[in-house]
Chain A
Amino acid sequence: MKEPGDDTVISIVGLTKRFNGRTVVDDVALDVRRGEIVGFLGPNGSGKTTTIRMICGLLKPDAGSGTCLGLDILTQSTRIKREVGYMTQRFSFYEDLTIRENLDFVARVYDLDDRPRRVAETIARLGLERRRDQLAGSLSGGWKQRLALAASVMHQPKLLLLDEPTAGVDPQARREFWDEIHRLAAEGLTVLVSTHYMDEAERCHRIVYIAYGRIVARGTVAEVIARSGLSTIIVSGANVNKIAALVQGRDGVEQVAPFGNDLHVVGPDAALLKQAVDAAVAEVGGGVTAAPGATGLEDVFIRLMQQASVADRTSNGGKA
């Protein structure tokens, strides 16, 4: 067992999980340092939940090894569970228990001392004093998430694993949720949070992008965008719709996506891209302006996903 005098909180290599012969998490390596908020991004079914479950000992990896808070994820999951707060993708507190009963249950399960005070404090921090005897099942989605978060940190974990915590929550509640996460991180808590909201990715210190079980990009948002090598041209004006049909499929054009009145045209080669767009603009005979723009994270992710999909098909075809 290594003693992390360094700041390593999660350090895993080669993590692999198969379900019925299908590889769902494939050779995943992940390093998370203390106090970091790491965004874990990827499309649905890419293996985010499965990876998180392996980190906190809910699933046994088929291959790979690593440590979580200096504890071996293969052999010390019982101790890991005590130090980790895990907020599941689906609300997994008891809907037929009241808020207070749920928190009380958690406090008891984690053997917290001074239980009534801890529960009361948590309720107060949530601002739910008046509703503490309401059934958890009767709360709105946003409140359920906040309750779940509060319950997951009540035992003061060192690492917080959040699995799509803001799915189906309105923007206001999402913002408050993220403010709270940053507050917790500032207090020294390490957070690994899965999401597929782009704006949430931008609120993370670092992101890791997983597709088809493999990590295909990692770094800060700026790094990930820069490394993608994509250029974007934004076309605006009256004839934007015609342009869309014209540039689609041309050499150098990979993605064409309307954003409001604008059109984002994205490609890996800046020169080829400009050529293609200029040609299309000439064909419609003006009425539009085309200017280089910033490439968005979403464009990068769509590209990564498409590339990974091709790779996945080739490798699965080879295997089968």
Chain B
Amino acid sequence: MSASSAFSLSRVLAMMIKEFIQLKRDRMTFAMILAIPIMQLVLFGYAINTDPKELPTLVTSADNGPGVRAVMTALATSRYFALRPGFVSEEQASRALVDGSAAYVISIPPDFERDLARGLRPQLLIEADATDPSASANALAGLPEILASALSTVLTGPLAAEAAGASPVDIVVHRRFNPEGITAYNIVPGLLGTILTMTTILMTALALTRERERGTLENLMATPATPFEIMIGKIVPYIGIGTLQVAIIIVCARVLFAVPMQGSLALLIGITFLFIAANVTLGYTFSTIAKTQMQAMQMTFFWFLPSILLSGFMFPFRGMPDWAQVIGAVLPLTHYIRSVRGIMLKGAGPADLVGEIWPLAAFWLAVGAIALLRYRRTLD
């Protein structure tokens, strides 16, 4: 009677036991199952900070005196700003904003001290790198209060009373590169990198494991094809697919979000190619390590997670603790997102992006070497 029934508890139990045994034997899956929640907990719990502090700040000044010093001290102690001591030229400051080494430039106008003493509310120009609006929002919001309390100690007499009311300086904020703080401007370059990371790595990671799983690898290895030939043969098609994805995303970014294209398209294509090559090679390396397609998929996700969390895509890079920034600096996505933002929004040129290009290239070479070392000519 029970043999023909649709539901059999014993069959279900048999399956469950079988699955459990398989899982237990599959160390990789087991490790992933444990590591992913832990990783998420750690990342979400500690690394994510949408209120970045210690943002690198430069000051250009045409004046000096107790007022300027008070402003500088206040900025330095506010923890939002990591003030580089001394003053820089306007040209240096502007360059630093483009290449990303500074998040803010504060310009103190001539006659600042005199105007301040006379209660004329001198202008204080703050230029912020607004490519990622959320990275600068809190710092800018807190600024008037920080300055008011700082200057109240310098001002005396009737002016002190005035300072306690309205701000003694006129703060002018220039949100550079993304004046309206449009989130899409920031998201699109990030998305470009994220989608590429996900798809290119996954597709290549599956490429070789699929062969192994289906038994076709044995045949392939019995042919005269060399590891390098096989690797290139498997990588190139996915570079092509990745390139197609880029084209689609860039076109959509222009058509749907009107994301500007300040810099050179050729440079963007060049860096994109480097980025895809690095990812595809990484995916291939995964597939030389993973025994099954399932494992290859898990390794991809294992890589994807820190990539989206620590690359500055989801959360401002400078808001992360140091250890997270160190990890982030290794990830190709970090450098790619910075490059794309730089090119599309800031019009950055090759010289501005050297600091992003070499880590990408180094990553690619390192991973390619690992892939070739990992690939075995024999089945054992």
Contacts and interface: CB of A to CB of B under 8 A. Distances in A.
17 contacts: A58-B222, A58-B378, A59-B379, A59-B380, A60-B378, A78-B224, A78-B226, A81-B224, A84-B222, A86-B219, A86-B222, A88-B218, A92-B217, A93-B216, A95-B214, A106-B223, A111-B224
Contact of A60 (B221, B225, B380): B380
B215 interface: yes
A77 B222 CA distance: 9
Contacts of B221: 58
A88 B378 CA distance: 15
Given A58-B378, A59-B379, A77-B377, A94 B216 contact: yes
A297 B363 CA distance: 62
B378 A59 contact: yes
Contact of A81 (B218, B222, B380): B222
Contact of B218 (A19, A77, A92): A92
A56 interface: yes
A92 B377 contact: no
Nearest to A56: B222
A126 to B, nearest CB: 18
A78 B378 CA distance: 11
A109 B218 contact: no
Closest 7 CB pairs of A and B: A92-B219, A86-B222, A109-B223, A90-B215, A92-B215, A82-B224, A81-B224
Contact of B215 (A53, A59, A77, A88): A88
A3 B265 CA distance: 61
A88 B219 contact: yes
Contacts of A197: none
Nearest to A151: B219
Contacts of B216: 92-94
Place the interface of chain A in its size category. Answer: 20 to 34
A91 interface: yes
Given A93-B216, A93-B219, A95-B214, A53 B379 contact: yes
Interface string B104-142: 000000000000000000000000000000000000000
Interface in A43-99: 53, 56-60, 77-78, 81-82, 84, 86, 88, 90-95
Given A84-B222, A111-B224, 8 more contacts: A57-B378, A58-B221, A60-B378, A81-B223, A81-B224, A88-B222, A109-B220, A109-B224
Contacts of A86: 219, 222
A82 B226 CA distance: 12
A109 B225 contact: yes
Contacts of A77: 377
Question: Which of B215, B224, B225, B378 has most chain A Cβ within 10 Å?
Answer: B224
Contacts of A106: 223
B269 to A, nearest CB: 30
Interface in B156-210: none
Contacts of A92: 214-219
A59 B376 CA distance: 10
A37 to B, nearest CB: 20
Contact of A58 (B214, B215, B218, B226): B218
A93 B218 CA distance: 10
Contacts of B215: 88, 90-92
A81 B226 CA distance: 11
Contacts of A110: 223-224
Nearest to A94: B216
Contacts of B217: 92
Contacts of A59: 378-380
Contacts of B377: 57, 77
A68 B214 CA distance: 28
Nearest to A84: B222
Contacts of B222: 56, 58, 81, 84, 86, 88
Nearest to B230: A109
A16 B274 CA distance: 46
A58 B379 contact: yes
A191 to B, nearest CB: 16
A109 B230 CA distance: 10
A110 B379 CA distance: 20
B27 to A, nearest CB: 16
A60 B214 CA distance: 22
A81 B227 CA distance: 14
